[in-house]
Amino acid sequence: MDFNRKDVNLLDVIDLEFLQQFQDTFARVTGVAVLTLDKDNNPVTQPINFIDICMKYNRSCSEGLKRCEISDKRGAEESTRTGKPAVYHCENGMMDFAAPIMLNGVRIGAILGGQVLAKQPEKEKYIKHAEVLGVNPHEYLEALNKVQVIPEERIREAANLLYLVSSKISKMIENQLRKEELQEEKNQAYKLLAAATSSVTEGLMAVDNDGKIIHINPAAHAIMGLSDKNIVGKPLSLILGPNNKFSEIARNGLWNTDEEIVLDQGGESIHCTSSSRPILKENGTIAGVVFTLREMRKVRRLVNRMVGATARFTCEDIIGESVGMKKAFKLISVAANSLSNVLLTGESGTGKELFAQAIHNHSGRSEGPFVAVNCAALPRELIQSELFGYNEGAFTGAKRGGNPGKFELANEGTIFLDEIGDMPMELQVNLLRVLQERKVTRVGGEKVIPVNVRIIAATNKDLMKAVEEGRFREDLYYRLNVLNIHIPPLRERGKDIELLTIHLINIFAEHLGKDINGAELEFFEIIRNYSWPGNVRELQNTVEYAMNVAEGEYLSVTDLPRSIHRQPDFLKEVGKVISLTEIERITVESTLKRFDGNITKTAKALGIGRNTLYDKLKKLRVRA
Ligand SMILES: Nc1ncnc2c1ncn2[C@@H]1O[C@H](COP(=O)(O)OP(=O)(O)OP(=O)(O)O)[C@@H](O)[C@H]1O
């Protein structure tokens, strides 16, 4: 067994009182003198039973003491070397024995016994010895007569006993140090674990199978909104109430992944996702459960970032200096500073989503999610569950663990309900309820989930007309239309067409890596006179097309797509005035003809959606 501790001092690791007691008892029983030395051969105990020959003569003069010390050292070293008790004649003529106290192969002390004789002394030898020491030989012999004469066999037995005890003491010290070291290792490991768990943003909590908290990191503390800082050792049910989900999982030692848990803390619902793993003992039985926790808000923020539920555009991205745009611009900051619902109106491709994103990004919710929902694109039967979410088992094919809806995902942010005019009548009432109560209930669920969401809706339809025709609820219309921002069509924005074109040329030049610096005058003339039924989106497509085909440094009329370049001849007739509807009809008709009546291709070329094209065909009475 190896220890990290170096230079261990006997006095630091031995119970001195016990050692003294043992030494005294041993001395009394055997009649010998006993002394314990440290690793430098300094006495650490008080010897008893020293008789005159040693105390008064041998150890009282410098020569005698020197001889004693040399003998003690020799005995201790011999016994260490041989691994046996050393029985030897000391330099002063007595019979002594020694047993080492070892630690990790190193002698840290020794217990010595002796001051006896194995046979009657030869007096002449001791008289000479007394002369060397400079003491009175007569008195020295008198003291010598008091030394016990014990058969060598018994001396060896006493030495063996001492050796046995010193070995036991060595073992005890070793065990004690090992224990201290293990405890220290444990403390270090715990400190490391505590430091590691407090540095993670994920919540971590360990609970034993009695339901008591054995560890909790600051993140878990914060996620669960706990006010009591000293909860380690307390039952979880005391902290979170008797029916909390964590206690149930801990009781059963369950293995869970990303389970959604709602905690009730002082009347407030705390949403988190949690995974759990049982803590197993060596024998495979469960000692408790470790939970990881994530705050739902943060999970959603991450999900929103990953799925792009963030708003990219700000006011700086909106190009336009026309009167209509300036009016709309002003309303962006009004809307950004208010929590009222906003209704954006304007033809398809005018920039309604761009405006919605700018409002979000300039509002106090810019750090929150921006969730866009195209109400026209959602299958009718899925709108409810997409918007409000569903619980596990709500319908065939419902995901395990359920799914949050767009309103939940937009919590603390903005939901953009695009094409709100296409929301089915039967669902409008549910939407109205959410707008009024700011709470959702998932499909197949009962729990009411509060949502803190800012609502921006948009439509390219005449919603008032839809209300009159009974296709849109009047109460919902007024609820949504608190702040109305109308974005004018591109054909009414005058010089904005040129500004946008220049802006788009710069963007595509960079994207396509083309060295194009502008457009020729005729190019601008044509695009200024075009009606742009697909608005900015169509202009975008047109410039992108031109940038791709252009070979010169400036875009020219020959780079324009045919549908725009080849304006009907009547437009060129000087002085002839034609209504915009007529121009739109001619444009739609000619494009449709070009694509042999293919709706998808025509809509794409015009830069509008298929549904918008169908609407236009109906309005303009054009047959596909
Ligand atoms: N004023 C503008 N400045 C710069 N880019 C614009 C502007 N208006 C619109 N755009 C761009 O035109 C494209 C269409 O805009 P957007 O999707 O916001 O229109 P929309 O009105 O929401 O369309 P739809 O009704 O079809 O959903 C986007 O790429 C947008 O960035």
Joined tokens for residue 462:
């005449």
Lowest mean pLDDT among 28-42, 257-271, 476-490: 257-271
Same fold, 201-300 and 307-486: no
- Nearest protein CA to atom 13 of ligand 1, as residue: 537
Do 535 and 347 touch, CB atoms closer than 8 A?
yes
**CATH class of the domain defined by 10-178:** alpha beta
Share of the chain above pLDDT 70, in %: 94
Residues found in the chain: 624
Q: Does the interface predicted TM-score (ipTM) exceed 0.95?
A: yes
- Nearest protein CA to atom 30 of ligand 1, as residue: 351
For ligand 1, the distance from its centroid to the CA atom of residue 534, given in whole angstroms, is 10
Using the Cα atoms of residue 171, residue 173, residue 179 and residue 185 in order, give the sign of their dihedral.
negative
Tens digits of residue pLDDT in 162-187: 999 999 999 999 998 899 889 999 99
Pocket test for ligand 1, best of 487, 537, 538 (most atoms within 8 A of CB): 537
Name, of 26-40, 374-388, 481-495, the range with top average pLDDT.
481-495
Report d(CA 314, CA 71) in Å as an integer: 94
Structural domain boundaries in the chain: 10-178, 201-300, 307-486, 491-620
How much is the pLDDT for 261? 81
Q: In the structure, what pLDDT confidence band is assigned to residue 5 with cuts at 50, 70 and 90?
A: low
pLDDT mean across residues, the chain = 87
- Nearest protein CA to atom 31 of ligand 1, as residue: 354
Q: How far is CA 476 from CA 370, 409, 425, 435, in A?
A: 22, 22, 10, 9
For ligand 1, the distance from its centroid to the CA atom of residue 486, given in whole angstroms, is 13
Q: Which atom, in ligand 1's list, is nearest to the CA of 355?
A: 18
Tens digits of residue pLDDT in 250-307: 777 677 788 888 777 777 777 888 898 988 888 888 888 999 998 877 777 777 667 6
**CATH class of the domain defined by 201-300:** alpha beta
Residue 422 CB–ligand 1 contact under 6 Å: no
- 418 burial via Cβ count (<10 Å: 0-12, 13-18, 19+): buried
For ligand 1, the distance from its centroid to the CA atom of residue 416, given in whole angstroms, is 14
Confidence check: pLDDT of 1 > 50 = no
Lowest mean pLDDT among 113-122, 169-178, 331-340, 399-408: 399-408
Q: In the structure, what pLDDT confidence band is assigned to residue 392 with cuts at 50, 70 and 90?
A: confident
Residue 543 CB–ligand 1 contact under 6 Å: no
Confidence check: pLDDT of 393 > 80 = no
Pocket test for ligand 1, best of 353, 373, 420, 493 (most atoms within 8 A of CB): 353
Do 39 and 80 touch, CB atoms closer than 8 A?
no
- Nearest protein CA to atom 10 of ligand 1, as residue: 351
Q: What is the mean pLDDT of residues 107-134?
A: 90
User: What CATH number is given for 491-620 in this structure?
Assistant: 1.10.8.60
Q: Which atom, in ligand 1's list, is nearest to the CA of 357?
A: 18
Confidence check: pLDDT of 572 > 60 = no
Confidence check: pLDDT of 566 > 60 = no
Residue with more model confidence, 624 or 520: 520
Q: What is the mean pLDDT of residues 479-487?
A: 95
**CATH class of the domain defined by 307-486:** alpha beta
Residue 346 CB–ligand 1 contact under 6 Å: yes
